[in-house]
């Protein structure tokens, strides 16, 4: 169980403090996928950084399996927007980096690595460097690194947004395939509504205003075969869009009022 309770994060920026998240609450069962969707600047990435153990200064509590987030003790796989591959390591070394740091001297499971390479279609690319790979291939390497670690929680920050539409759909399928075989808890941030509906069993819509959760939806369409071409898929996407837009216009109204107030 991943439990976030009354999470608030404030940034210190140029002497002014800025609230990125306010009293955020969220629960996620083990082995569940959760897509967080919301406009830019709503605090999505901040939330991920807290979950990944990168931001350590926050109020409230964040627990993974009943324990506070300590990267040292838990296994957290984090895939940033740019995939987080180290340019000086080849594919093989990049994939092994996670287990290498986590397991130290323990021998790793070589078979698991071979299976993952197969599943992600990376066979034959082991000796290439990230610069020699396409965006889609880099993304696959990042996924391989994360899955090899068998993390307690996998956190992904807009992992597929830099890819073209066709590659994106392909990798989303690959991701779901691999995820089914390992079933790790996963939280991903996205601004594509379709991606959220396709990959999230739970969909969290963040409010544009002051880093709070607007709506949490249990996605009935998650994992349904060939759902992308289904009428229901489009309908759910439309509903989500409506919720986001309503929230957005509310926020704009508020901004305008605030602007008028300060003008007086």
The span of 71-79, 171-179, 205-213, 250-258 binding another protein (CB under 8 A) equals: 71-79
Tokens coding 186:
């996963």
Residue with smaller CB distance to another protein, 55 or 120:
55
φ/ψ of 51, rounded to 5, equals -65, -35
The contact pattern for another protein, residues 39-58, with x = CB under 8 A and - = no contact, is ----------x--xxx----
The span of 14-22, 84-92, 111-119, 217-225 binding another protein (CB under 8 A) equals: 84-92
Residues near another protein (CB under 8 A), total: 32
When binding is defined by CB under 8 A, the residue of 1, 18, 30, 101 that contacts another protein is 101
Residues contacting 92, CB < 8 A, separation 6+? 126, 127
Q: C-alpha dihedral over 220, 222, 227, 228, to 10 degrees?
A: 110
Q: Is 51 helix (H, G, I), strand (E, B) or coil?
A: helix
CB atoms within 10 A of CB 107: 6
Residue with smaller CB distance to another protein, 86 or 238:
86
Angle between helices 91-103 and 135-148 (to 10 degrees): 20
- Counting contacts by CB under 8 A, is residue 196 touching another protein? no
- Counting contacts by CB under 8 A, is residue 73 touching another protein? yes
Task: Work out how close the CB of 189 gets to another protein at its nearest, in angstroms, rounded to a whole number.
Answer: 14
* Positions 118 through 157 that interact with another protein (CB under 8 A): 129, 131-132, 145, 149, 155
DSSP notation for 61-97 = EEEETTEE--TTTS-EEEE-TTTT--TTS-HHHHHHH
Nearest-angstrom CA–CA distance, 122 and 138: 10
In the block, tokens 């759909």 appear at 169
When binding is defined by CB under 8 A, the residue of 28, 76, 120, 208 that contacts another protein is 76
Where do contacts with another protein occur on this chain (CB under 8 A)? Answer: 49, 52-54, 70-74, 76-82, 84, 86-90, 97-98, 101-102, 129, 131-132, 145, 149, 155
């Amino acid at each position: 169980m991943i439990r976030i309770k009354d999470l608030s994060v404030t940034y210190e920026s140029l002497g002014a403090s800025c609230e990125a998240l306010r009293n955020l609450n969220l629960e996620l069962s083990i082995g569940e996928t959760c897509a967080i969707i919301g406009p830019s600047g709503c605090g999505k990435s901040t939330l991920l950084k807290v979950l990944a153990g990168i931001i350590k200064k926050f109020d409230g509590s964040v627990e993974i399996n009943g324990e506070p987030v300590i990267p040292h003790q838990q296994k957290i796989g984090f895939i940033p927007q740019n995939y987080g591959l180290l340019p000086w390591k080849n594919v093989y070394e990049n994939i092994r980096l996670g287990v290498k740091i986590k397991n130290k001297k323990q021998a790793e499971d070589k078979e698991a690595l071979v299976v993952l390479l197969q599943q992600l279609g990376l066979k034959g690319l082991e000796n290439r460097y990230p610069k020699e790979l396409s965006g889609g291939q880099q993304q696959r390497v990042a996924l391989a690194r994360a899955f090899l670690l068998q993390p307690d929680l996998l956190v992904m920050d807009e992992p597929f947004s830099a890819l073209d539409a066709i590659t994106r759909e392909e990798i989303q399928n690959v991701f779901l395939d691999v995820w089914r075989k390992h079933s790790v808890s996963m939280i991903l941030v996205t601004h594509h509504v379709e991606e959220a509906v396709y990959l999230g069993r739970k969909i969290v819509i963040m409010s544009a205003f002051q880093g709070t959760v607007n709506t949490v939806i249990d996605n009935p369409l998650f994992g349904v075969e060939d759902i992308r071409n289904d009428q229901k898929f489009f309908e759910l996407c439309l509903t989500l869009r409506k919720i986001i837009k309503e929230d957005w216009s509310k926020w704009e109204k508020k901004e305008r009022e605030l602007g008028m107030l300060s003008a007086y």
